[in-house]
Amino acid sequence: MKKMKKIRSSHNNLLNYFIHDKRDLSPAYVRSCEKFLKEISAKHQAREDIIYEENERLLDRSSKLQAPSSKLQATSDKRQATSAKRHEKDTIVK
C-alpha cells in the first residue's frame, strides 16, 4: 500500500478540514480546527440561551398585563356635550 503525503494546511483555513480525510491532515491542524468549531458552537449556544431567556422574560411580562375584555360596550343615545356655547344668533363662542 502506498503511503499518502500529509496535506499541508494553514491553521486559519478550515477548507482542508472539511474536504480531506482527517488521517491525511496533521494532528495539530485537526485539533486546532476542532477547538475552533467547539468554541463557535459554545458561543452560538450561549447566544441562543440569552435570546431564549429574553423572550421568556418578555412573554412573562406581557402575560401580566391586563388582557382586553371580550365584552361589548353598550352604546348610549345621549348627545355628546360640546365645549362651545351657542350664542343667541347661532354663532359659536369659545
Q: Is residue 69 domain-resident?
A: no
* In a domain? residue 17: yes
| Residues forming beta bridges with residue 93, ordered by sequence position | 85
Domain assignment present for residue 84? The answer is no
Is residue 92 included in any domain, yes or no? no
Question: Residue 41 falls within a domain, yes or no?
Answer: yes
Residue 52 within any structural domain of the chain: yes
The residue segments making up the domain with residue 13 are: 7-64
Place of cell 365584552: 71
What's the rounded Cα separation, in Å, for the pair 81 and 86? 12
Least confident window among 12-16, 31-35, 56-60, 70-74: 70-74
* Domains of the chain: total: 1
Note the pLDDT of residue 31.
95
- The answer to whether the beta carbons of residues 87 and 93 sit under 8 Å apart is yes
Q: Residue 67 has what pLDDT?
A: 58
pTM: 0.52
- In the structure, what pLDDT confidence band is assigned to residue 24 with cuts at 50, 70 and 90? very high
Cβ atoms within 10 Å, residue 27 = 10
